[in-house]
A and B are shown apart, each in its own frame.
Chain A
Amino acid sequence: MSIYSEQEAKAILDKVIALSKADECTATLGGSVDGNIRYARNAVSTSGIVSDTQLGVQVAFGKRVGIATTNEFDDAALAKVVARAEELAKLAPENPEFMPAIGKQDYTPTRTFIDKTAAITPEYRARVAADSIEPCRKDKLVAAGFLADSHGFQAIANSNGNFAYQKSTNLDFTCTVRTEDGSGSGWVARNVADVERFDAKNEIKIAIDKAKRSRDAKALEPGKYTVIMEPAATAGLISFMMFGFDARQADEGRSFLSKKGGGNKIGEQIYDPRVTIYADPAETGVEVLPWDGEGIARARLPIITKGKVENLRYSRYWAKKQEKQATAMPGNLIMVGGDKSTMDLVKSTRKGILVTRTWYIRMVDPQTVLLTGLTRDGTFYVENGEVKYPIKNFRFNESPIIMLNNIEEIGKPVRVGDDESPFVMMIPPMKLRDFTFTSLSDAV
């Protein structure tokens, strides 16, 4: 069994806390059932289900910390895992940055669990694969995709009397559709908590349409262009930028948010006034657990408000040292937008480039958050409000700081997951001027 009820989880965690003779004890219990199906070349390649439950115990004697984990939960196994953590703590070097276990927190439950998503069956996964593959076969296209769904629970407790339990679900779908001759490629991605909001038959039409329309792409000269970025195309850039929102890094002088002469840029206007980004565990559509990895209660956290840096993330150690309030690590990011769709942004564009997806984004210079990466799976030239023709992919070298100062228009945010990001995001489509493409790519 990998999913425990709240009572069962509490009983296990209470036993662990009672067993510990250390100065303090924190325990986490998590379990999940993860299902997936993968297909390529219009055929299923692998599918599987993995269920797992893990108990983590962290104890401390003074500033010496020990961690041990187990996936067995009888009384003997619990005694063993606590003893092992205590033994490790006694052997560990002192951590001068040790912070004691958190006090009792006040958590407001969030809606992270959807029954229907938890009830996904192997047959459902096979149907998603078939719904992707069949229309492609008929159209002489080739589908490769991946569906991963998950339902599980997290419970935390510590010797200060803190306790919390919550269940969650997730579904992530991506599919790449290519023409048989490899001259066109389209992509679709959907990330939802509620399976009812997902229909593979509809979604696959997006990738099919882009694959067909991206054939015989023309080459444009690299340079600065007005771009209409679909939400998935900027998610990776914005997510990368958020790694810099750590107060310690900024205060130490090694972040784009460090100030000349020392200190950080809290309160400074560094983006276009239309940029507002916050985290909120209860945000409708992108709900996340109301606590972070350390058990700190997540609350709504304004990060950028009207272009000004409003908050950085303070770890408990750094907050104590700087006499600030510690902040939980956000689980989501919400960028505020308007009502327009991507196609509405296209309609108001005289000349520009429509970008579906960005790929292999890497940091070039952390001083300016200069990132490089490429467009992929559907890049089009836009003229007089219409998508005119497909263009060859570009490599970009651009900083999200510069990008978010060059905003022409912001559309309606949608939920986006990103395979390299720890956040669930609400990101709007954006029209941006002077986006820097530095070379052409022959890749389709």
Chain B
Amino acid sequence: MERRDFLKATGVGLGAVLLPSWGRVVAAEVLTTKIDVALKKRLADTALAAAKEGGASYCDVRIGRYLRQFIVTREDKVQNVVNTESTGVGVRVIANGTWGFAASNDLSADAVARAARQAVAIAKANSRLTVEPVQLAATAGVGEVSWSTPIERNAMEVPVKEKVELLLAANAAAMQAGASFVNSTLFQVNEQKYFASSDGSYIDQDVHRIWAPVNVTAIDKASGKFRARAGLSSPMGMGYEYMMPKKEHKIAMPGGTVGYTQSYDIVEDAAIAARQAQEKLKAPSVKPGKYDLVLDPHHLWLTIHESVGHPLELDRVLGYEANYAGTSFATLDKWKAKDFRYGSDQVTLFADKVQPHSLGAVGYDDEGIKTRRWDLVKDGILVNYQAIRDQVHILGEKESHGCCYADSWSSVQFQRMANVSLAPGKKKLTPADMVKDVENGIYIIGSGSFSIDQQRYNAQFGGQLFYEIKDGKVTRMIEDVAYQIRTPEFWNACSAICDESDYRIGGSFFDGKGEPSQVSAVSHGSSTTRFDGINVINTARSLG
């Protein structure tokens, strides 16, 4: 996850951020309009023709309109309401067996054709250095199709006043419950993406995402101690309906905590967070050692992201990210052996771009491939990676997995993480049942600090809430917990997974990769899961 992008987005820690970094600022009404599909098709055909004439053997055109609104508040104040729009076209070609890319924010026919010709010229110039020509997996054109995130209420159409009132109500609930400070933010994203390719695809997509992070701080002035508890919302591929809580989407958890599935009660969670932040000030410090961990889905998503999602990206495995994000321990020889135990036999981890309400869900990826689900780890064995059109031949496959993405019309699409999730357990098992069997454990809720090495072996994770489990019972809140893992040992220590009634997704708006860096939004689902004998450290220090 990219710390810098989050800081940029919220202005936290960087002082005054005069301008957002996501495009031009627009009035709210602009966020509810669209570019005519017929115009997009005409422009795309212009680019496809220009590329062909220039000598390209393949061409794709992405006409993108990226809209964002974010509302930033603290206590009883609105700090910022910003709407941004970024519109333009990116043209990617293969000429002389080499990729070329050019982009323009000018949506005139001349400019689009010029971008196509530039892309061909760049491909031809770079082809002098090409060692292996691009091998693109064949795909049939899908004709003129469209896909939209199945939302009930477009967040961009909800009046700012209504959204501000909700955030301020959550802040007020936290303050009334004893918080010293509270920050809340609402991010809304709409990607209007048109894709056309020389394969004969014309795909119009309307993608929506929403996220409402809250952070509540409690301070004990006498001791100088402070503790924060972040909200338990997840960024979702949903509309404003996610912010309209429903009873059936709530899950009771230890310490009066409430977990959320397909809708979020921000006011309720802010009040609980305020109470728990104060409780954290007094909670006893953990005794370091080996514990059985019961990891809630609001926590486990980040562990899945770092220890499964990233190491199973094929470009990392091959070394394309060696200078930045790193490589991977899950090397091709382990996959070829067909017996590499990534996890215990209960562990099936799957990738998908179709899961309802997920951040990664689209009808087609950014190279026009119809999206689907596939297994990465099946019954504990490493069986596949995440790969796109110019990579799948390395795996002996003929079809792309459909996980190509670009974060803007102006950036080149490349292999990005699909949603990667842990399949729920097949036998009926609730978190309460799971706890009954744990003698000496810790129940961890919410994501905290995270860090992992460049080959994704050694990781350390914190959390928001930690509850001691003794002899089958949750006893009390504890603090200063972080656990350290070696990825394959950790997943092989998985001893139980709750059933699908407990399944929830978490995710990140800001997964970073590539140079220049691009961000991508991705979800990770799981049910509550148990891992045995994990090393827990105490993170409390004294500054004297």
Contacting pair A440 B458 (CB below 8 A): yes
Q: Does A138 interact with chain B (Cβ within 8 Å)? A: no
Contacting pair B453 A393 (CB below 8 A): yes
Contacting pair A438 B319 (CB below 8 A): no
Q: Does B254 interact with chain A (Cβ within 8 Å)? A: no
For residue A174, which residues in chain B have a CB less than 8 angstroms away from its CB? 323-324
For residue A41, which residues in chain B have a CB less than 8 angstroms away from its CB? 318-320
Contacting pair A293 B16 (CB below 8 A): yes
Contacting pair B515 A36 (CB below 8 A): yes
Q: How distant is the Cα of A395 from the Cα of B410 in the complex, in angstroms?
A: 37
Contacting pair A399 B322 (CB below 8 A): no
Q: Does B177 interact with chain A (Cβ within 8 Å)? A: no
Task: Tell me the residues in window 70-129 of chain A with beta carbons closer than 8 Å to chain B beta carbons.
Answer: 70-71, 84, 87-88, 91-93, 95-97, 126
Closest to B19 in A: A56
Contacting pair B81 A443 (CB below 8 A): no
Contacting pair A68 B453 (CB below 8 A): no
Contacting pair B19 A28 (CB below 8 A): yes
Contacting pair B219 A254 (CB below 8 A): yes
Contacting pair B455 A260 (CB below 8 A): no
Closest to A421 in B: B4
Contacting pair A443 B457 (CB below 8 A): yes
For residue B164, which residues in chain A have a CB less than 8 angstroms away from its CB? 93
| Closest CB in chain A relative to B84 CB, distance in Å | 8
Contacting pair A40 B462 (CB below 8 A): no
- Which of A46, A71, A260 is within 8 Å of B105, CB to CB? A71
Q: How distant is the Cα of A99 from the Cα of B450 in the complex, in angstroms?
A: 37
Task: Tell me the residues in window 356-393 of chain A with beta carbons closer than 8 Å to chain B beta carbons.
Answer: 359-368, 370, 372-374, 376, 393
Task: Tell me the residues in window 429-444 of chain A with beta carbons closer than 8 Å to chain B beta carbons.
Answer: 438-444
For residue B251, which residues in chain A have a CB less than 8 angstroms away from its CB? none
- Which of A34, A48, A258 is within 8 Å of B224, CB to CB? A258
Closest to A87 in B: B27
Contact string against B for A residues 343-354, beta-carbon threshold 8 Å, 1 for contact and 0 otherwise:
000000000000
Closest to A438 in B: B537
Q: How distant is the Cα of A401 from the Cα of B535 in the complex, in angstroms?
A: 26
Contacting pair A40 B453 (CB below 8 A): no
Closest to A176 in B: B323
Q: Does A62 interact with chain B (Cβ within 8 Å)? A: no
- Which of A360, A361, A368, A372 is within 8 Å of B543, CB to CB? A368
Q: How distant is the Cα of A67 from the Cα of B79 in the complex, in angstroms?
A: 13
- Which of A38, A376, A420, A438 is within 8 Å of B454, CB to CB? A376
- Which of B18, B412, B541 is within 8 Å of A368, CB to CB? B541
Contacting pair A254 B181 (CB below 8 A): yes
Q: How distant is the Cα of A422 from the Cα of B13 in the complex, in angstroms?
A: 11
Q: Does A292 interact with chain B (Cβ within 8 Å)? A: yes
Contacting pair B81 A92 (CB below 8 A): yes
Closest to A441 in B: B458
| Closest CB in chain A relative to B8 CB, distance in Å | 10
| Closest CB in chain A relative to B39 CB, distance in Å | 20
Closest to A58 in B: B18
- Which of B15, B410, B480 is within 8 Å of A365, CB to CB? B480
Contacting pair B131 A367 (CB below 8 A): no
Contacting pair A439 B18 (CB below 8 A): no
Among the 9-residue stretches A12-20, A142-150, A273-281, the one with 4 or more Cβ atoms under 8 Å from chain B is A142-150
Contact string against A for B residues 68-106, beta-carbon threshold 8 Å, 1 for contact and 0 otherwise:
000000000111011000000000000000010100010
| Closest CB in chain B relative to A93 CB, distance in Å | 5
- Which of B78, B180, B226, B460 is within 8 Å of A93, CB to CB? B78
Which of A91, A96, A374 has the most B CB atoms < 10 Å from its CB? A374
Q: Does B223 interact with chain A (Cβ within 8 Å)? A: yes
For residue A50, which residues in chain B have a CB less than 8 angstroms away from its CB? 410
Q: How distant is the Cα of A243 from the Cα of B14 in the complex, in angstroms?
A: 8
For residue A47, which residues in chain B have a CB less than 8 angstroms away from its CB? 122, 126
Contacting pair B221 A253 (CB below 8 A): yes
Q: Does B473 interact with chain A (Cβ within 8 Å)? A: no
| Closest CB in chain A relative to B468 CB, distance in Å | 19
Q: Does A162 interact with chain B (Cβ within 8 Å)? A: no
Q: How distant is the Cα of A136 from the Cα of B213 in the complex, in angstroms?
A: 46
Q: Does A329 interact with chain B (Cβ within 8 Å)? A: yes
| Closest CB in chain A relative to B229 CB, distance in Å | 13
Contacting pair A329 B319 (CB below 8 A): no
Q: How many residues of A contact B (CB 8 A)?
A: 91
For residue A191, which residues in chain B have a CB less than 8 angstroms away from its CB? none
Q: Does A315 interact with chain B (Cβ within 8 Å)? A: yes
For residue B28, which residues in chain A have a CB less than 8 angstroms away from its CB? 91
Q: How distant is the Cα of A91 from the Cα of B164 in the complex, in angstroms?
A: 13
For residue B18, which residues in chain A have a CB less than 8 angstroms away from its CB? 28, 56, 58, 67, 293-294
Q: Does B33 interact with chain A (Cβ within 8 Å)? A: no
Q: How distant is the Cα of A439 from the Cα of B451 in the complex, in angstroms?
A: 13
For residue B338, which residues in chain A have a CB less than 8 angstroms away from its CB? none
Task: Tell me the residues in window 322-351 of chain B with beta carbons closer than 8 Å to chain A beta carbons.
Answer: 322-324, 326-327, 329, 331
For residue A175, which residues in chain B have a CB less than 8 angstroms away from its CB? 323
Task: Tell me the residues in window 108-125 of chain B with beta carbons closer than 8 Å to chain A beta carbons.
Answer: 122
With A69-B24, A252-B181, A443-B455 as known contacts, state yes or no: A395 contacts B15, CB within 8 Å: no
Contacting pair B17 A293 (CB below 8 A): yes
For residue B81, which residues in chain A have a CB less than 8 angstroms away from its CB? 92-93
Contacting pair B24 A370 (CB below 8 A): no
Contacting pair A261 B222 (CB below 8 A): yes
Q: How distant is the Cα of A48 from the Cα of B326 in the complex, in angstroms?
A: 22
Q: How distant is the Cα of A38 from the Cα of B26 in the complex, in angstroms?
A: 34
| Closest CB in chain B relative to A443 CB, distance in Å | 4
- Which of B25, B449, B452 is within 8 Å of A69, CB to CB? B25
| Closest CB in chain A relative to B157 CB, distance in Å | 16
Task: Tell me the residues in window 1-45 of chain B with beta carbons closer than 8 Å to chain A beta carbons.
Answer: 3-4, 13-19, 24-28
Which of A34, A261, A367, A373 has the most B CB atoms < 10 Å from its CB? A367
Q: Does A210 interact with chain B (Cβ within 8 Å)? A: no
Contacting pair A315 B223 (CB below 8 A): no
Query: Residues of A at under 8 Å CB distance from B?
Result: 28, 34, 36, 38, 40-41, 43-48, 50, 54, 56, 58, 67-71, 84, 87-88, 91-93, 95-97, 126, 142, 144-146, 148, 174-176, 178, 182, 243, 246, 252-254, 256, 258-262, 270, 292-294, 313, 315, 329, 359-368, 370, 372-374, 376, 393, 395, 397, 399, 401-402, 405, 419-420, 422, 438-444
Pairs across A and B, CB under 8 Å, 13 listed: A46-B412, A47-B126, A48-B101, A68-B25, A146-B323, A252-B180, A360-B451, A365-B541, A372-B482, A395-B453, A399-B541, A442-B329, A442-B457
Known: A48-B412, A69-B25, A144-B320. 14 other contacts (CB 8 A): A38-B515, A84-B26, A91-B28, A176-B322, A178-B322, A246-B13, A252-B219, A329-B15, A360-B451, A362-B450, A367-B225, A368-B540, A397-B482, A420-B4
Query: Residues of B at under 8 Å CB distance from A?
Result: 3-4, 13-19, 24-28, 77-79, 81-82, 99, 101, 105, 122, 126, 129-131, 160, 164, 180-181, 217, 219, 221-228, 318-324, 326-327, 329, 331, 410, 412, 449-458, 460, 462, 480, 482, 484, 486, 515-517, 535, 537, 539-544
Which 10 pairs of residues, A with B, have the shortest CB-CB distance?
Answer: A443-B455, A441-B458, A443-B453, A144-B322, A260-B224, A144-B323, A253-B219, A146-B515, A368-B541, A176-B323
